[in-house]
Structure 1
Amino acid sequence: MTTVPVHQVSRVAIPLSVGALVAVALGVYGRLHDPTGVAINIAGFSSFQSVKSWLATVALVLALVQIVTAGALMGHLRGLSGRSWVGPVHRWSGRAAIAVTLPVVAHCLYALGFQYGEPRVLIHSLLGCFFYGAFVAKMLTLSRTDAPSWLLPVVGGAVFTGLVGLWLTSSLWFFNTFGVIR
């Protein structure tokens, strides 16, 4: 039996473990924290649910930009590969996507907490924790020069999958229930 050196295991285990710890910590905080029910409304929107739905939609569009530019950076989209603007667009669309999710997660954790009263809401709460855990794992993977080449696309895909799931269980639900313009 061949043993794998500890440094090779840590290349994958550290980012994934820290990401998992972040996901669990968010879930525990959201569950133990007494939700305030207080929401911040922004002028021009009828409710904070509307604000959250639109911010999540913006994040989803930016995540689609992330997927396309990641494909170009990895050489899978020959028409875009090698273009000097692809890397900066990838980095800045990712930063912007996370930035627009911050008011949403702050509201969800502070005002609503981790909820499980109905399946859609439970899945949404779990996906929120997963999304930020995957994001932390991705950021830690980016900072490791010794990470295996498959790890970044896997954790990046997990971030994207989490965001799509969040959008489906919140924004799509909201738009279908209350309408796009409310």
Structure 2
Amino acid sequence: MADVRTPTTTRTLRRILLAVAIGSLVAVALGVYGGLHQAAGYSIDIGGFSSTQSVKSWLTTLAVLLGVVQLISAMMIYGRIPGPTWAGTLHRWSGRLAVLCVVPVVVHCLYALGFQTYEPRVLIHALLGCFFFGAFTAKMLLLTYKDLPGWVLPVAGGALFCGLVGLWLTSSFWFFTTSGFTF
């Protein structure tokens, strides 16, 4: 069980702030790129689905389900709920699979659509997309440090999970409620 009471030294605080700053730069860079990039209107599609929106919605839904696995396995790792000894492995692999699910989605969104603001849902979705990948970057950088206080990774993971759920609500949930559960 991780100790959430580890004191934060100046060196540790600098590391945390550096990771957050780099994550913030990634978020801003994605937003700027999405805003300046001339949207192509198309990208590579995955076969077997009726539309690009459908494949994106299902991949994001799978990523959210894997995010729930991440949340539960993290609670096992931190001793909040009982779990198997392989909870850490489950946590790492469910995270890797979730990232693999969202990469084609973000590539399509950035390349084909860009950063759009034509309605509040779309603006919130674009902002959450930038936030999500900024938070992902920060968490991956934080994972490289071994002397962090026990609260840092759960906060970073919680921000990442909230961003992912927000993305799902503003895209997949919206798509499923307006178009149905199509493949």
Distance in 2 of aligned mates of 1:147 and 1:170: 34
Q: Does 1:45 align with 2:46?
A: no
Deviation at 1:27, TM superposition (A): 0.4
Question: Percent same amino acid among aligned pairs?
Answer: 58
Q: Whose relative contact order is higher, 1 or 2, with alpha carbons under 8 Å and at least 6 apart?
A: 2
Cα deviation digits, residues 98-155 of structure 1 (max 9, x gap)? 1110000000000000001100000000000000000011111111112222111111
Question: Could you tell me the TM-score, scaled by structure 2's length?
Answer: 0.92
Query: Are 1:114 and 1:125, in contact at CA under 8 Å, matched by a contact in 2?
Result: yes
Query: Are 1:12 and 1:148, in contact at CA under 8 Å, matched by a contact in 2?
Result: no
Question: Could you tell me the TM-score, scaled by structure 1's length?
Answer: 0.93
| Aligned partner letter, 1:91 | R
- 2:28 maps to what in 1? 24
Q: Say which is worse superposed, 144-153 or 90-99, in terms of deviation.
A: 144-153
- 1:56 maps to what in 2? 60
Deviation at 1:6, TM superposition (A): 4.5
Query: Are 1:11 and 1:146, in contact at CA under 8 Å, matched by a contact in 2?
Result: no
Gaps of 5+ in 1: none
- 2:3 maps to what in 1? none
Distance in 2 of aligned mates of 1:11 and 1:126: 25
Q: Does 1:174 align with 2:178?
A: no
The total of aligned residue pairs comes to: 176
- 1:131 maps to what in 2? 132
Q: CA RMSD in A?
A: 1.3
Q: Does 1:154 align with 2:124?
A: no
Cα deviation digits, residues 11-35 of structure 1 (max 9, x gap)? 2211111111110010011001110
**Segments of 4+ moved more than 3 angstroms:** none
Listed as ranges, the matches of 1:61-72 within 5 Å are 61-72=65-76
| Aligned partner letter, 1:68 | I
Q: Does 1:103 align with 2:107?
A: no
- 2:4 maps to what in 1? none
| Aligned partner letter, 1:124 | H
- 2:94 maps to what in 1? 93
Distance in 2 of aligned mates of 1:150 and 1:168: 27
